């Protein structure tokens, strides 16, 4: 059997290696348009910033090493220009020799990936305007920086590539501005969680232009003007366009394959396309969302590798199935780690779920062990059923392992209340006896049992200030003096019992503290004394970050967690 693979990065290289492991006699040919295979897309910005200094570290395999290990015929700088399903061949152009030929196949695997989205802006194609997708793109940017020594950069787009580039360009001493048409960076995160990302990048000197639309580019004074809708242009020495990716599926369209969202390739759960003996995997395919079951696009390395393996299994007579993408991601943003899995609150509501949520600020490890940092954990679940829908975590250590636990819990179908029961590893340098995941589960269990009533950030502006409710801030006097919500009275939680007679029992009490812990204790005191009390989810720390754009890397003591 002869298998031809178009694209040799994540899905394509995985499929080729898996086919060889399953069948020593199969003939495997990989055509890759660029000069590199199996390269680390996610590492490209770190080469630009000199974190990765050896260019060979960007490639996990070379055509020679791949042939030596797997006897796979890898042909780089070969572009497939057409697919002919009727005669089971592909047209190929050797880009170095400018020669064209046809290659036959028994099975064809399409792994073309995605390409940078480029709307019809004016001024595209100029020397100082870059995109970042391939190793060659990385070398072009790096060579230009080394040769011209630019002092400023504008990044058009506020997604993963821009976040990583912002950090690395700042390390090179450049002034960096990010322009994003949305009101927030990093759309996989809800606006309240993205506020922590905004504060972190601003803390490191990155300028943000949120809610501004790029309309084009123009050379001026040795640099580039980024033209904005209804705003004066931004000027910089270089501009990198990173407004998203689009499935690279022109070949599939011309071959008559069924296409889906944004021109992506439609496949079934066996990764089979609409034409027999043609399979597809990676960023170019439309998949099912694991939670909603709806068609979606999720361009991530993990799903691409899984899909490549599934294709190989099925080509060789197996019956492997892709169950859907959950969207689990993690990213380093300067000192901050940001991670998400499943649906955020915004998308869960769009999908029609009746949701609830908890937001908490636990320590990364035991508070009495030195060096702990707070993290912000948001868990989204379905009301009544308590089905886990998604989670987001931001912090400075221990974020990645917690998001993986939550991703596993979602995949396994655990209810949000069952998070309290997970038996997770504990040692003071790494965690607490009640891990942050357990703590989220305990909060949700309290909600399920009617022991906790919450109010949220979106409720703050609607709280009446006419005295019909009691607004209570249970932090210390010093914390209160450092910033508080207008209308809230300060009674520290440890003094609350002595002041209960001053609170009118017929009025509901809305309580807040720095992180949500002391205010929860206050609601227990109040409920136990006959009041109706609501705890603010996320604490003043969340409110201050979102509303006032103020954020510090806080320790336990700074947040009163030692109280």
Tell me which residues are annotated as active site: 42
**356 phi and psi, to 5 degrees?**
-135, 170
Residues 6+ apart with CB under 8 A from 324: 287, 288, 289, 290, 291, 293
> Among 189, 493, 535, 526, which residue's Cα sits nearest to residue 358?
535
Cβ contacts of 9 within 8 Å, gap of 6 or more: 32, 37, 38, 39, 41, 111, 113, 282, 304
Contact in structure between 247 and 114 (CB atoms under 8 Å): yes
Residues in the chain: 563
As given in the structure block, the two tokens for residue 535 are: 């705890």
Q: Pick from 279, 261, 244: which is nearest to 14 by CA?
A: 279
> In this structure, what are the phi and psi dihedrals at residue 163, rounded to the nearest 5 degrees?
-65, -45
Q: Which helix (H) or strand (E) holds 171?
A: helix 160-171
Question: What is d(CA 553, CA 555) in angstroms, rounded to the nearest whole number?
Answer: 7
What does residue 511 show for φ and ψ, rounded to 5 degrees?
-115, 145
Beta strands 207-210; 175-180: pairing state:
parallel
Starting from the edge strand earliest in sequence, which strands make up the sheet with 533-536, in order? 454-455, 533-536, 509-512, 470-473, 489-490
- Closest among 276, 290, 297 to 322, alpha carbons compared: 290
Helix (H, G, I), strand (E, B) or coil at 398: coil
Please report where in the chains the tokens 């269990």 appear, as a residue.
445
**Dihedral Cα 139, 141, 145, 148, nearest 10 deg:** 110
């Amino acid at each position: 059997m002869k298998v031809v693979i178009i694209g040799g990065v994540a899905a394509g290289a995985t499929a080729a290696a898996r086919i060889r492991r399953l069948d020593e006699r199969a003939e495997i040919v990989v055509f890759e348009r660029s000069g590199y295979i199996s390269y680390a897309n996610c590492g490209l910005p770190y080469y630009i910033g000199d974190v990765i200094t050896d260019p060979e570290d960007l490639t996990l395999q070379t055509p020679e090493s791949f042939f030596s290990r797997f006897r796979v015929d890898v042909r780089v700088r070969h572009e497939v220009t057409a697919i002919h399903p009727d005669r089971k061949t592909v047209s190929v152009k050797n880009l170095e020799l400018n020669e064209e030929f046809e290659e036959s196949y028994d099975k064809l695997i399409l792994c073309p990936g995605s390409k940078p989205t480029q709307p019809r802006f004016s001024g595209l194609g100029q020397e100082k305007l870059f995109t970042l997708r391939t190793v060659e793109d990385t070398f072009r940017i790096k060579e230009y920086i080394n040769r011209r020594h630019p002092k400023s950069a504008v990044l058009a787009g506020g997604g993963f590539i821009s976040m990583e580039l912002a950090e690395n360009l700042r390390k090179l001493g450049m002034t960096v501005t990010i322009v994003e048409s949305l009101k927030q960076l990093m759309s996989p995160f809800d606006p309240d969680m993205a506020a922590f990302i905004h504060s972190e990048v601003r803390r490191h000197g990155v300028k943000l232009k949120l809610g501004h639309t790029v309309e084009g580019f123009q050379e001026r004074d040795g640099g580039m003007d980024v033209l904005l809708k209804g705003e004066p242009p931004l000027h910089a020495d270089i501009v990198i366009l990173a407004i998203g990716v689009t499935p690279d599926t022109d070949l599939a369209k011309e071959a008559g394959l069924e296409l889906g969202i944004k021109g992506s390739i439609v496949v079934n759960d066996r990764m089979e396309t609409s034409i027999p003996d043609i399979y597809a995997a990676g960023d170019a395919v439309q998949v099912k969302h694991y939670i909603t079951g709806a068609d979606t696009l999720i361009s991530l390395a993990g799903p691409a590798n899984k899909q490549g393996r599934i294709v190989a299994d099925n080509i060789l007579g197996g019956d492997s199935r892709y169950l859907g993408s959950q969207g689990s991601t993690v990213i380093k943003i300067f000192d901050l780690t940001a991670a998400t899995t499943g649906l955020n609150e915004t998308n869960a509501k769009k999908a029609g779920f009746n949701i609830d949520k908890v937001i908490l600020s636990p320590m990364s490890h035991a508070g009495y062990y030195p060096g702990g940092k707070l993290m912000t954990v948001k868990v989204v679940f379905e009301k009544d059923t308590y089905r886990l829908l998604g989670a987001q975590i931001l912090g400075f250590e221990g974020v990645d392992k917690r998001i993986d636990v939550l991703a596993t819990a979602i995949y396994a179908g655990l209810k949000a209340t069952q998070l309290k029961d997970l038996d997770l590893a504990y040692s003071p340098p790494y965690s607490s006896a009640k891990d942050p995941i357990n703590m989220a589960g305990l909060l949700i269990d309290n909600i399920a049992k009617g022991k906790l009533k919450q109010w949220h950030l979106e409720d703050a502006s609607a709280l009446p200030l006419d005295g019909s409710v009691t607004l209570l801030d249970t932090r210390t006097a010093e914390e209160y003096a450092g910033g508080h919500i207008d209308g809230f009275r300060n009674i520290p939680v440890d003094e609350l019992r002595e002041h209960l007679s001053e609170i009118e029992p017929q009025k509901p009490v809305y309580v807040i503290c720095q992180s949500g812990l002391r205010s929860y204790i206050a609601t227990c005191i109040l409920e136990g004394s006959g009041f109706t009390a609501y705890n603010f989810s996320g604490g003043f720390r969340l409110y201050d970050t979102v509303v006032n754009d103020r954020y510090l890397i806080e320790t336990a003591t700074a947040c009163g967690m030692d109280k």
